[in-house]
């Protein structure tokens, strides 16, 4: 596969949904239209009933997608990078970090259910960064909510203006296809047909014999009424408002039957923004540092790691760090500067990913996502440059709410446990804290399933079996001090509640909200943060 190198900017987007809304199915179909898989069904394995992007055994068993993945393909003269996100709420940190690496988002909605809890949360994240969103109302081959109701639901819950680009004609067994609002045509839904040779009817006259013959009088009348309402009540698509995250183009269809997928992909590839500027600290790892924006057209290369994924290929037990290129050109076998370690390194086999395959790439441009083989040197949030000492901001950890410690079943395995926990925390699977008053290590998670992944992987990859015991904390807060004297004093006074994160930053471990309130009142000069990426 070669990604096009031309004047068209990269299109880097993520797909989000509540579990079961059809994200995996849509991903598979997008890849099919992107010609990365030869036939739909190759991503979603028939025997395993899981997508190839769901690598881990646990995911198969549970039928949920834990890990994000990256899939690249050329489409419409652009290099497209599709980033998968885990739908399950326990992995929302991972999803958040993936969203920091994209410029737009495709939101899948189950049309029988409307906006569900997890989509609502993910949308809130998109709103923070004003990420442009394309909406796909899925499963119209089943009974669905009324399209106006669905639109109202998205607008109210997600606080975004919807603009229908297509409109469904019927739903469930009566689903006849979609009306294209701009071209005034009906694309007929004929289950099982090749989606690229869909029948298109001229529907500029909804009373024409051809239209009535296909959709019947009842649906034609309903469509006519609906279109009048749309014209009266809904705005037209305005690209600037889409790019500002104020307006979302809405498509209706059924991913399972390929219907509506191509229009959605056309929309993203035509209007999806290219790489945006990204903020960096001019003094790395200094919360008080001055900031600047790195522009994608700057000559000097820069990029950051937003995800580390282990076991992508079970046979090789490998670990891949995903880097988003932000400026300049990345070149294979050319020195790049790893800001956190201060070392210059050469990447011999930078990878780009398709559905199941990976390929070595010689160069990568702003917006590209490349995979770097990782032997444990990289961490989430690491910045790479041409030599410049800067650090990308905005790749946070969130304050965990559940804590556990590992009690080893076999004390001889202490070393393996340490290694395993260190690596898993660097990958962002779980957060690892060390207490101030003892060498004890504590695991912190946002969702309880994270511990299951840790347990499973410690056993499977490091041969470590353990008991997981609850811990009396309910949260942590990252701290910002005015100076070192204040810092030392605070740590001394609150030593029993001080823990250090994996970057050795001191945090206040919260035993109760009451506790936290009290310590904040007593230390008004110290700032407390719920995410690790504060300024
Ligand atoms: P997710 O990744 O968002 O969790 O959802 P996924 O694509 O796995 O879809 C969840 C279920 O919904 C799957 O059924 C899938 O086939 C079905 N589905 C997705 N899109 C459509 C659609 O447009 N119409 C209909 N009718 N169903 C759709 P499943 O029974 O859980 O799995 P499977 O046995 O079909 O693979």
Average pLDDT, the chain: 87
How far apart CA 84 and CA 534 sit, in angstroms, is: 26
135 falls within a domain:
yes
386 falls within a domain:
yes
Is the CB of 25 within 6 Å of ligand 1?
Answer: yes
Q: What is the CATH number of the domain that holds 198?
A: 3.40.50.300
Note whether 333 and 440 are same-domain residues: no
How far apart CA 423 and CA 157 sit, in angstroms, is: 38
How far apart CA 171 and CA 374 sit, in angstroms, is: 48
Give residue-wise pLDDT tens across range 86-116: 777 778 788 888 999 999 999 999 999 999 8
| 18 assigned binding-site residue | yes
61 falls within a domain:
no
Residue 383 has pLDDT above 60, yes or no: yes
Residue 458 has pLDDT above 60, yes or no: yes
Residue 17 has pLDDT above 50, yes or no: yes
**How far is ligand 1, taken at its centre, from the CA of residue 61, in Å?**
16
Note whether 374 and 439 are same-domain residues: no
Query: Helix 147-158 to helix 209-233 angle, to the nearest 10 degrees?
Result: 30
Q: Last residue of some domain: 226, 256, 271?
A: 271
Note whether 88 and 183 are same-domain residues: yes
37 falls within a domain:
yes
Is the CB of 106 within 6 Å of ligand 1?
Answer: no
Report the nearest-CA residue for atom 35 of ligand 1: 49
| pLDDT at res. 50 | 34
E strand or H helix that includes residue 104: strand 104-110
Is the CB of 142 within 6 Å of ligand 1?
Answer: yes
In this predicted structure, which of 25-34, 43-52, 216-225, 498-507 has the lowest mean pLDDT? 43-52
DSSP SS3 for 120: helix
Is the CB of 255 within 6 Å of ligand 1?
Answer: yes
Report the nearest-CA residue for atom 9 of ligand 1: 22
Name the token pair of 12. Answer: 């880097």
How far apart CA 478 and CA 45 sit, in angstroms, is: 43
Can you give the pTM of this predicted structure? 0.87
Q: Last residue of some domain: 244, 271, 298?
A: 271
| 216 assigned binding-site residue | no
Note whether 323 and 243 are same-domain residues: no
Confidence of residue 532 (pLDDT cuts 50, 70, 90): confident
Note whether 248 and 285 are same-domain residues: no
63 falls within a domain:
no
Which domain covers residue 307, as residue numbers?
Answer: 278-392
β-strands 319-327, 302-310: how paired? Answer: antiparallel
What number of other Cβ atoms are within 10 A of residue 222's Cβ? 15
Q: Are 72 and 79 in contact (CB under 8 A)?
A: yes
58 falls within a domain:
no
Which whole number is the average pLDDT over 339-368?
Answer: 90
**How far is ligand 1, taken at its centre, from the CA of residue 489, in Å?**
56
Which whole number is the average pLDDT over 80-88?
Answer: 86
DSSP SS3 for 285: coil
Report the nearest-CA residue for atom 25 of ligand 1: 139
Residue 250 has pLDDT above 90, yes or no: yes
69 falls within a domain:
no
Give residue-wise pLDDT tens across range 197-248: 667 889 999 999 999 999 999 999 999 999 999 999 999 999 999 999 999 9
DSSP SS3 for 520: helix
Note whether 112 and 80 are same-domain residues: yes
SS (H, E, C) 47-79: CCCCECCCCCHHHHHHCCCCCCCEEEEEECCEE
65 falls within a domain:
no
Note whether 363 and 239 are same-domain residues: no
Return left, alpha or beta for 413; rule: phi > 0 is left, psi -120 to 50 is alpha, else beta.
alpha
Stronger pLDDT, 14 or 467, i.e. the higher one: 14
| pLDDT at res. 305 | 96
In this predicted structure, which of 82-91, 132-141, 503-512 has the lowest mean pLDDT? 82-91
Ligand 1 pocket test, pick from 16, 17, 19, 20 with the greatest ligand atom count within 8 Å of Cβ, gives: 20
Closest by CA position to 437, among listed 524, 526, 531, 509: 509
Stronger pLDDT, 147 or 452, i.e. the higher one: 147
Note whether 406 and 385 are same-domain residues: no
How far apart CA 415 and CA 315 sit, in angstroms, is: 24
β-strands 319-327, 369-373: how paired? Answer: antiparallel
The vertex-436 CA angle with 404 and 481, nearest 5°, equals 110
How far apart CA 332 and CA 270 sit, in angstroms, is: 30
Residue 318 has pLDDT above 90, yes or no: no
- Residue 435 pairs with which residues in a beta bridge? 499
Note whether 129 and 252 are same-domain residues: yes
What number of other Cβ atoms are within 10 A of residue 42's Cβ? 16
Closest by CA position to 167, among listed 228, 107, 212: 228
Is the CB of 49 within 6 Å of ligand 1?
Answer: yes
| pLDDT at res. 311 | 66
β-strands 133-138, 104-110: how paired? Answer: parallel
Q: Last residue of some domain: 232, 247, 271?
A: 271
Note whether 80 and 212 are same-domain residues: yes
Q: What is the CATH number of the domain that holds 476?
A: 3.30.70.3280
Is the CB of 203 within 6 Å of ligand 1?
Answer: no
Is the CB of 29 within 6 Å of ligand 1?
Answer: no
Note whether 261 and 328 are same-domain residues: no
| 138 assigned binding-site residue | yes
**How far is ligand 1, taken at its centre, from the CA of residue 428, in Å?**
28
Inter-CA distances, 367 with 82, 273, 308, 352, 452, Å: 11, 10, 18, 12, 33
| Complex-level ipTM | 0.97
Residue 405 has pLDDT above 50, yes or no: yes
Note whether 131 and 191 are same-domain residues: yes
| pLDDT at res. 119 | 86
Number of domains in the chain: 3
Residue 255 CA: which ligand 1 atom is closest? Answer: 23
**How far is ligand 1, taken at its centre, from the CA of residue 150, in Å?**
19
| 436 assigned binding-site residue | no
In this predicted structure, which of 94-103, 185-194, 276-285, 318-327 has the lowest mean pLDDT? 185-194
Confidence of residue 46 (pLDDT cuts 50, 70, 90): very low
Residue 79 has pLDDT above 70, yes or no: yes
Residue 108 CA: which ligand 1 atom is closest? Answer: 3
Stronger pLDDT, 198 or 503, i.e. the higher one: 503
């Amino acid at each position: 596969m070669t990604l096009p190198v031309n004047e068209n900017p990269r299109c880097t987007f993520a797909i989000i949904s509540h579990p079961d809304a059809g994200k995996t199915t849509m991903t598979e179909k997008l890849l099919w239209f992107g010609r990365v898989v030869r036939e739909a069904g190759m991503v979603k394995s028939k025997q395993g009933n899981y997508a190839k992007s769901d690598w881990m055994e646990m995911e198969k068993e549970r039928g949920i997608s834990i890990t994000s993945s990256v899939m690249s393909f050329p489409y419409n003269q652009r290099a497209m990078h599709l980033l998968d996100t885990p739908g399950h709420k326990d992995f929302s940190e991972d999803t958040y970090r993936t969203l920091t690496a994209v410029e737009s988002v495709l939101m899948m909605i189950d049309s029988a259910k409307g906006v569900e809890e997890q989509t609502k949360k993910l949308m809130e994240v998109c709103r923070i960064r004003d990420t442009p969103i394309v909406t796909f109302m899925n499963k119209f081959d089943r009974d669905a909510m009324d399209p106006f109701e669905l639109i109202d639901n998205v607008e109210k819950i997600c606080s975004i203006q919807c603009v229908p680009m297509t409109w469904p004609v019927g739903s469930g067994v009566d689903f006849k296809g979609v009306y294209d609002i701009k071209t005034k045509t009906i694309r007929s839904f004929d289950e099982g047909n090749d989606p690229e040779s869909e029948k298109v009817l001229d529907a500029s006259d909804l009373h024409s014999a051809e239209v009535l013959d296909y959709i019947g009088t009842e649906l034609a009348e309903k469509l006519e009424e609906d279109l009048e309402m749309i014209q009266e009540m809904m705005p037209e698509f305005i690209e600037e408002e889409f790019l500002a995250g104020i307006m979302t183009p809405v498509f209706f269809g059924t991913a399972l039957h390929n219907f509506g997928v191509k229009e959605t992909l056309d929309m993203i590839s035509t209007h999806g923004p290219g790489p945006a500027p990204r903020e960096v600290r001019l003094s790395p790892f200094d919360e008080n540092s001055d900031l600047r924006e790195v522009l994608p057209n700057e000559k000097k290369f820069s990029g950051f790691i937003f995800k580390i994924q282990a076991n992508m290929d079970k046979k090789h037990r490998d670990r891949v760090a995903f880097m988003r290129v932000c400026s300049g050109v990345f070149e294979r076998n050319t020195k790049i500067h790893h800001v956190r370690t201060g070392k210059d390194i050469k990447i011999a086999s930078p990878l780009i990913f398709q559905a199941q395959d990976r390929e070595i790439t010689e160069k990568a441009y702003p917006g590209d996502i490349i995979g770097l083989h990782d032997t444990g040197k990289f961490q989430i949030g690491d910045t790479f440059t041409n030599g410049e000492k800067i650090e990308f901001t905005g790749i946070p950890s969130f304050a965990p709410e559940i804590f556990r410690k590992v009690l080893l079943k076999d004390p001889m395995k202490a070393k393996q446990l340490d290694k395993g926990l260190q690596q898993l925390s660097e990958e962002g699977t779980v957060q690892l804290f060390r207490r101030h008053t003892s060498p004890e290590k504590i695991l912190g998670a946002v969702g309880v399933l994270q511990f299951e992944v840790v347990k499973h992987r410690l056993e499977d990859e490091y041969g470590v079996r353990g008991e997981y015991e609850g811990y009396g904390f309910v949260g942590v807060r990252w701290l910002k001090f005015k100076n070192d004297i204040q810092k030392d004093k605070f740590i001394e006074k609150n030593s029993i509640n001080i823990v250090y994160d994996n970057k050795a930053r001191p945090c206040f471990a919260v035993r109760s909200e009451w506790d936290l309130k009290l310590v904040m009142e007593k230390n008004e000069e110290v700032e407390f943060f719920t995410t690790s990426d504060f300024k």
